[in-house]
Structure 1
Amino acid sequence: MEKVIYNLVFNRKKQLNAEGKALIQVEAYLNRQKRYFSTKVYVKPCQWDNKRRSIKNHPNMDALNLYLQNYVMELERDELEKRQANNGFSLKDLREETSSISTSSSFLVFMREEILHSNLKESTLKNHLSTLHVLSLYKKDVLFKDINFNFLCDFEYFLLKQEYHRNTIAKHMKHLKRYINLAINKELFELHKYPFRKYKIKYQESKRTHLTPEELGRLENLKLDGQRTLRRCLDMFLFSCYTGLRFSDIVSITKENFLIIDDKVWLVYSSVKTDVSVRLPLFLLFEGKSLPIYERYKNAPRTLFGVPLSSNSNVNKQLRRISQLASIDKKVSFHTARHTNATLLLYNGANITTVQKLLGHKSVRTTEIYSNIMDMTIVRDLEKIETRLKFG
């Protein structure tokens, strides 16, 4: 039994649109026959890698490549289901949902169109496409008429059975809610049927891993001679411990973000995630420990730490190795650095509103999640009170 061969093809008709872009399609080949499926993704010729059959040099290339992979996977899943249900199979059996279901009736088609035509940033776009993918795994055709309270409960149960973490489920539900709200605004879904009126998104308080001063010291003193990749990864992590930068900001900053003001080095940047402007006096934070790291990398041609470690998952793998070398028995990820920064600042007496500004939080409520993270802070504050009471 021959299997369908799927390939991504770009600009099959050799014609660009008014924006200088062309369509990416999926080519399905079986028994010398071909059929093409539109992914609805348009890119410029310079943004297509024909050898790897993937998007390149695009601000959202990771998210869009993930979407294209998932699109092919959905076709493969449809093929498998059709083969299991019928004795014979041909390319005609593969159904392109957009050919038979319109945006006005299909929530999945509507959601896909909105995501692909949005101005979401890379990490956000990737998360929304992930929600679209798991929703299509749960139910291939989600119509507007299907969406009600029971649908949300059943989808939640499906995700629980797939062993998704409670907060990951909450994230998917939050995205789903966004597009249902958007559908209501566009008069594609009736307000009185709004399912989130009854359904409440459930969150689970998660343990935020941070490093103690002693553990941070172990990383600072770790010798990684001759191990350039690990050294760069550790420097990125330590720089984040001293500055509180998210991974998305660490891989985006360049030497232009470092300003000399009154002979002192400041880091000035806008957060990729929130677009909040942040100004950090590096010479004052953690005794200026970020400055030697900056000096080591300031002549990099593009971003401060370069391109090779731009993958968060890749960096997290390296951090696990580094943690073992430093005998740190914790599940350390890159975001641990940001938690460490906030926790140690608060422990050392920084005002919570100051920490809010340094982290680039829009609301102090976001920063307050760190205020109860270290028992030592509570002990220290109570000891201060006890000392004042004793000695007046």
Structure 2
Amino acid sequence: MLGGKPIILDKIKTYFRKENSKDFYTFFENTFCPRKFSDITEGTQYHYRLLGKILKEIRPNLHLYDIDLNFIQKFDCYLKEKRETGIGGVWNKYKNLKTVIIFAKKLKFIDSNPYDDLKYVNPKNKTHFLTQQQVERIKNLELNDSLGLTRDKFLLACYTGLRFSDVNRITRKNWGSRMLSVEMQKTKEIVNIPLSKNSLKITLKYQRFKKKDEPIFRNVSNQNVNKMLKEIAEMAEVDPKLSFHWSRHTFGSLLGQHNVNAFLIMKLMGHKNVNQSLIYVNSNKAMMKDIIKSIVNKG
């Protein structure tokens, strides 16, 4: 008896099921992720899992209705101040959280979406890349095993345009006669890239004693690789903001500087739209403008 009324077990269970359904992490892990992950790549899955981890750092107990404008502002401050996340990273986490909220509203878990009242602009990403001389400086560094592995992965990506996830998945099965054939994890596009002398030297160095279907590189997290690239950047006297993704832009930029046309760049890099490739055709002009601008500002 409770308050003079009989307790009905089924009603209690129903009540707690409803309460539990309002818990953000229960919804996120048991409803959103299983349904969403069937349509997205492992790399994107990783970013959603990271979102869940960050939200737990901010508030371990979080209900769907707790996510309002005030919470989003705290989320923004935490990303920028505590985690020192860049503008692009903040944008991506906003985008992912918004996707989760839209999904919850669509399934009637919540009635409104706080992002409907929030205006935020996608930052224009500046394309960072290295010059041929900077790549050579990195190549010629004397490094220990860990930094050497990071440097070699980065250089192979500079020579092939492969993303971090694709470099980590390379096996002996991926190359034939001086040609690397890879299905890109992000786009599922197959790219066939001629292996230069430098890229061939790196792949041969790491494929020894590896089984045909075994990745040739030891797996190291993207975060740790980028930390080590900062050390490498300092030693090579290049921009200290260096990250692994610069390698892909470097590949495209070097192709453009050697007068490779945009359609061939598109094919080599697995772009779906030639407009993505045109930035590399014009990268040399952009570089010259930046140099002139810096000279004028110093004068």
TM-score (ref. length: structure 1)? 0.59
Amino acid at match of 1:273: K
Match of 1:280 in 2: 193
Deviation at 1:366, TM superposition (A): 4.0
Match of 1:358 in 2: 268
Match of 2:110 in 1: 189
1:314–1:200 Cα change, 3 Å: same
| Partners of 2:269 and 2:101 in 1: CA distance | 32
Amino acid at match of 1:277: I
Q: Higher relative contact order by CA 8 Å / sep ≥ 6: 1 or 2?
A: 2
| Partners of 1:139 and 1:321 in 2: CA distance | 34
Q: 2:246 aligns with which of 313, 333, 336?
A: 336
Deviation at 1:376, TM superposition (A): 5.8
Contact between 2:261 and 2:281, CA under 8 Å: does it hold in 1? Answer: no
Residue 107 (structure 1) aligned with residue 24 (structure 2): yes
1:362–1:115 Cα change, 3 Å: farther
Match of 2:164 in 1: 247
Contact between 2:150 and 2:225, CA under 8 Å: does it hold in 1? Answer: yes
Match of 2:55 in 1: 135
**Structure 2 matches for 1:305-324, cutoff 5 A?**
305-307=216-218, 309-324=219-234
Q: 1:167 aligns with which of 73, 83, 88?
A: 88
Question: RMSD value over aligned CA atoms?
Answer: 3.1
Listed one character per residue, the Cα deviations across residues 87-118 of structure 1 (whole Å, up to 9, x for unaligned) are xxxxxxxxxxx988322x23332112245533
Listed one character per residue, the Cα deviations across residues 47-69 of structure 1 (whole Å, up to 9, x for unaligned) are xxxxxxxxxxxxxxxxxxxxxxx
Contact between 2:134 and 2:238, CA under 8 Å: does it hold in 1? Answer: yes
Amino acid at match of 1:130: L
Q: Which runs of no fewer than 5 residues in structure 1 stay unpaired?
A: 1-97, 380-392
Match of 1:71 in 2: none
Contact between 2:24 and 2:62, CA under 8 Å: does it hold in 1? Answer: yes
**Structure 1 runs (4+) greater than 6 angstroms displaced:** none
Match of 2:174 in 1: 257
Listed one character per residue, the Cα deviations across residues 360-386 of structure 1 (whole Å, up to 9, x for unaligned) are 23334444554554436778xxxxxxx
Match of 1:199 in 2: 118
| Partners of 2:141 and 2:81 in 1: CA distance | 42
Deviation at 1:269, TM superposition (A): 1.2
Of Structure 1 and Structure 2, which has the larger fraction of its residues in strand?
Answer: 1
Match of 1:56 in 2: none
| Partners of 1:138 and 1:230 in 2: CA distance | 33
Contact between 2:256 and 2:283, CA under 8 Å: does it hold in 1? Answer: no
Amino acid at match of 1:242: Y
Deviation at 1:346, TM superposition (A): 1.6
How many residues are aligned here? 268
Deviation at 1:291, TM superposition (A): 1.9
Of Structure 1 and Structure 2, which has the larger fraction of its residues in helix?
Answer: 2
1:158–1:299 Cα change, 3 Å: closer
Task: Quote the sequence identity (%).
Answer: 30
1:212–1:223 Cα change, 3 Å: same
Deviation at 1:256, TM superposition (A): 0.2
1:324–1:360 Cα change, 3 Å: same
1:100–1:331 Cα change, 3 Å: same
| More moved, 137-146 vs 235-244 | 137-146
- Aligned partner of residue 266 in structure 2, secondary structure: helix
- Aligned partner of residue 20 in structure 2, secondary structure: coil
Amino acid at match of 1:342: G
| Partners of 1:369 and 1:101 in 2: CA distance | 51
Listed one character per residue, the Cα deviations across residues 290-323 of structure 1 (whole Å, up to 9, x for unaligned) are 222223233341545332x533333334433433
1:114–1:359 Cα change, 3 Å: farther
Match of 1:177 in 2: 98
Q: 1:292 aligns with which of 186, 196, 201?
A: 201
Deviation at 1:152, TM superposition (A): 3.8
Contact between 2:28 and 2:100, CA under 8 Å: does it hold in 1? Answer: yes
| Partners of 1:189 and 1:369 in 2: CA distance | 42
| Partners of 1:257 and 1:277 in 2: CA distance | 11
Residue 271 (structure 1) aligned with residue 184 (structure 2): yes
Larger radius of gyration: 1
